[in-house]
Chains A and B, each alone.
Chain A
Amino acid sequence: MKKFAGWTLSTPATLVVVAFLILPVAATFWTTFSTPNGPLAPYFAFFNSNLRRTVLLRTINVSLATTAISLVIGFLTAYVISRTPGWLKSILIIAAVFPLLTGVVVRSFAWLIILGRNGILNTSLISLGITDTPFQMLYTQGSVIVAMVYLFVPLMILTCVGVLESIPDDLIQASSSLGASPTATFLQVILPLATPGLIVGAVLVFTGSFTAYATPQLLGGEQVMMMGTLMYQQAMVVFDWVSASTIAAIMVVFTIAIVLVMTRVARRLNPMAV
Chain B
Amino acid sequence: MTRPVHPLLIALTVLVFIFLVGPLVIVVGSALSDTTYLTFPPQGLSLRWFENIFAIAAFRRTIITSLQIAFISTAIALVIGIPAAYALNRHRIQLPAWLSTLFVLPVLVPELVLGFSLLKSVATGFQVPIFPALIIGHTLLVLPYVVRVISASLANFDFAAEEAAVSLGSPPLKTFFTIVLPNVRSGVIAAFILCFITSINDVSISIFLTGPGISTLPIQILAHVEQFFDPTIASVSVLLMALTVAVMAVVERTLGLTFLAK
Q: Which A-B residue pairs are the 8 nearest by beta carbons? A: A6-B91, A103-B201, A110-B23, A211-B110, A24-B117, A162-B261, A24-B121, A13-B84
Contact (Cβ within 8 A) B121 A113: no
Contact (Cβ within 8 A) B143 A16: yes
Which residues of A come within 8 Å of B, CB atoms? 3-10, 12-14, 16-18, 20-25, 27-28, 31, 73, 76-77, 79-81, 83-85, 90, 92-107, 109-114, 116, 118-120, 123, 150, 153-154, 157-159, 161-162, 169, 176, 182, 207, 210-211, 213-214, 217-218, 228, 231-232, 235-236, 241, 244-245, 248, 251-252, 255-256, 259
Selected from B39, B109, B262, the residue in CB contact (under 8 A) with A162 is B262
Contact (Cβ within 8 A) A80 B5: yes
Contact (Cβ within 8 A) B120 A113: no
Q: Contacts A113-B38, A228-B112, A248-B117 given; 11 further ones with Cβ under 8 A?
A: A10-B87, A12-B84, A17-B102, A92-B17, A101-B248, A106-B240, A211-B112, A218-B225, A241-B120, A248-B116, A256-B108
Selected from B4, B6, B37, B240, the residue in CB contact (under 8 A) with A103 is B240
Residues facing A in B11-28 (CB within 8 A) are 12-13, 16-17, 19-21, 23-24, 26-27
Chain B residue with Cβ nearest A164: B261
Contact (Cβ within 8 A) A214 B222: yes
Instruction: Give Cα A182 to B7, complex, Å.
Output: 13
Instruction: Tell whether A7 pairs with B240 under 8 Å between CB atoms, given A12-B84, A114-B23, A236-B208.
Output: no
Contact (Cβ within 8 A) B21 A158: no
Chain B residues near A77: list those with CB within 8 A: 12-13, 16-17
Contact (Cβ within 8 A) B120 A120: no
Contact (Cβ within 8 A) A248 B23: no
Contact (Cβ within 8 A) A6 B95: yes
Q: Chain A nearest CB: distance from B112 CB in Å?
A: 5
Residue among A28, A76, A103 with the most chain B CB within 10 A?
A103
Chain A residues near B1: list those with CB within 8 A: 85, 169
Chain B residues near A248: list those with CB within 8 A: 110, 112-113, 116-117
Q: Is the interface of A mostly helix, strand, loop or mixed?
A: helix
Selected from A97, A109, A214, the residue in CB contact (under 8 A) with B260 is A97
> Would you call B207 an interface residue if the criterion is a C-beta within 8 Å of the partner chain's C-beta atoms?
yes
Contact (Cβ within 8 A) B112 A251: yes
> Would you call B244 an interface residue if the criterion is a C-beta within 8 Å of the partner chain's C-beta atoms?
yes
Instruction: Give Cα A236 to B116, complex, Å.
Output: 10
Q: Chain A nearest CB: distance from B12 CB in Å?
A: 6
